[in-house]
Amino acid sequence: MKKFLFALAAFFPALTMAQNAQPFTVKSKLTNITRPATAYLVYYLGANSQTDSATIVNGEFKFEGVIMDPVTASLFIDHKNLGFAKYVEQNFPDGGPSKTADGLNFFLEKGTINISGKDSIATADVVGSPINDDNKSLKAQLKVIIDKAKVITEEGKKASAEQQRSPAFQNAMQARYKVLQDEQKSVIKNFITAHPSSYISLLALSSVAGPNPDVAEVEPLYNLLSADLKNSEGGKQLKMSIDALKITAIGALAPDFSQNDANGNPVRLSSFRGKYVLLDFWASWCGPCRQENPNVVKMYNKYKGKNFTVLGVSLDKADGKSAWLAAIKNDGLTWTQVSDLKFWNNLAASLYGVQSIPQNFLISPEGKIVAKNLRGDDLDKKLEQILGKI
């Protein structure tokens, strides 16, 4: 859930925009740096990573270049003049920045961008850039929600191991995160509505529903975007993604497929016609899936006598069949389980656009998708609404 929430920054480099080369200039003044040092600018030009350097003289340095579209960039200050390779080795020992790294992430866009600070680029201000201004505004609004999520996470860590394994505790935590997820969506939707021409709106839209977007939620927001954004390469990519989502949108006929069960017998989804089916994508190696399994077991036992069943699809690997079978036994998953043991290349998962697990689709007796991504109490409420209270 924590990965599902607040993933906006992860989508920033995901889209491309213009196709023509656009000149940029980055000017910086760090008033308290008096000794010579080196600045490094790292960004992408198309599919190729670029690393430029500039000597800092009296705290000032400048970069000039071209980009094909707005991109995220990283600016580093090498205070000891180690050289880029040595700087990376010392400041990014495990791939992530250490406390000694002095860096700043921002957007490169056409025009002149000014960065000013004192003795550190990490605390410097980026000015004169509409994209960075919009990004700063949206991040400030989301920070309140992120801080709330941190509080919930810390409270969860303080719970005993026994509490953390409790389905009731997990459902309560899920419900609290769900409230924050809805708050995040509201902030992003309001931002897009107020900034239909902003590149940040295009990026924010691609994260509105996390890795499992609902076309009914995303498409109306896409329609709010300016014509320029829609006609950009990023806008066109997003439109293609939205069209693909319609295949598994609520109300669509569930795509049929066949995979083998644990005994090697083929099972076809359409063979369950006449029943409500929860199509549940999971894996033995997926911690959140295993945490959710007791809730699915509870719902299966509660509603199986009311024309309801579950079809599990595992994203386990070919060499993980024994772990898959052990998880089925240990978690008490007594319904039909299938898998082609192709990990993330599972054909059914690809057919349903599954990019993260756990993920599920509730399918009607007629074979139509009536709900999806139901977790915790939400699954119980939906089944009660459809099948009646027990």
DSSP letters, 271-315, are GGTTSEEEEEEE-TT-HHHHHHHHHHHHHHHHHTTSSEEEEEEE-
Q: What is the pLDDT of residues 255-276, one digit of tens each?
A: 999 999 999 999 999 999 999 9
CB 51 within 8 A of CB 73: no
Residues near 99 by Cβ (< 8 Å), separated by ≥ 6? none
pLDDT band at 360 (very low <50, low <70, confident <90, very high): very high
CB atoms near residue 317 (< 10 Å): 18
Rounded CA separation 275/267 (Å): 15
Section 146-168 average pLDDT? 89
CB atoms near residue 296 (< 10 Å): 25
Q: What is the pLDDT of residues 178-230, one digit of tens each?
A: 899 889 889 999 999 999 999 999 989 877 755 667 888 889 999 999 998 89
Section 29-43 average pLDDT? 92
pLDDT at residue 390 in the model = 65
| Domains, in order of start, for the chain | 14-128 (2.60.40), 132-248 (no CATH), 258-387 (3.40.30.10)
Q: State both tokens at 228.
A: 């320029």
CB 152 within 8 A of CB 177: yes
Has residue 18 got a pLDDT over 90?
no
Strand order in the sheet with 103-108: 48-56, 37-45, 71-78, 103-108
Higher pLDDT, 316 or 93: 316
pLDDT band at 7 (very low <50, low <70, confident <90, very high): very low
pLDDT band at 154 (very low <50, low <70, confident <90, very high): very high
Specify which residues 250 forms β-bridges with.
Answer: none
CA 346, distance to chain mean position in Å, is 20
Q: State both tokens at 159.
A: 């719970």
Under DSSP, the state recorded for 58 is: T
Q: What is the CA radius of gyration of the chain?
A: 25
Window from 28-42, 92-106, 225-239 with minimum mean pLDDT? 92-106
Has residue 17 got a pLDDT over 60?
no
pLDDT at residue 318 in the model = 93
Q: What is the mean pLDDT of the chain?
A: 89
Strand order in the sheet with 60-67: 60-67, 22-30, 111-117, 125-127
Rounded CA separation 63/55 (Å): 10
Q: What is the pLDDT of residues 283-309, one digit of tens each?
A: 999 999 999 999 999 999 999 999 999
Has residue 12 got a pLDDT over 60?
no
Section 9-28 average pLDDT? 63
Q: What is the pLDDT of residues 127-144, one digit of tens each?
A: 989 999 999 999 999 999
Rounded CA separation 217/52 (Å): 41
pLDDT at residue 38 in the model = 95
Window from 86-100, 146-160, 169-183, 369-383 with minimum mean pLDDT? 86-100
Has residue 6 got a pLDDT over 50?
no
Residues near 387 by Cβ (< 8 Å), separated by ≥ 6? 276, 303, 306, 307, 308
Has residue 169 got a pLDDT over 90?
no
Section 45-65 average pLDDT? 92
Rounded CA separation 152/132 (Å): 30
The dihedral formed by the CA atoms of 163, 164, 168 and 173, expressed in degrees to the nearest 10? 130
Handedness of CA 58, 59, 60, 65 (dihedral sign): positive
DSSP letters, 348-387, are HHHHTT--SSSEEEEE-TTSBEEEE---THHHHHHHHHHH
Higher pLDDT, 291 or 170: 291
Buried b (16+ CB within 10 A) or exposed e, 143-180: eebeebbeebeeebeeeeeeeeeebebbbebbebbbeb
Provide the H-helix boundaries in the chain. 84-91, 130-158, 161-165, 167-194, 199-205, 215-224, 227-231, 233-245, 287-303, 321-330, 347-351, 377-387
pLDDT at residue 208 in the model = 72
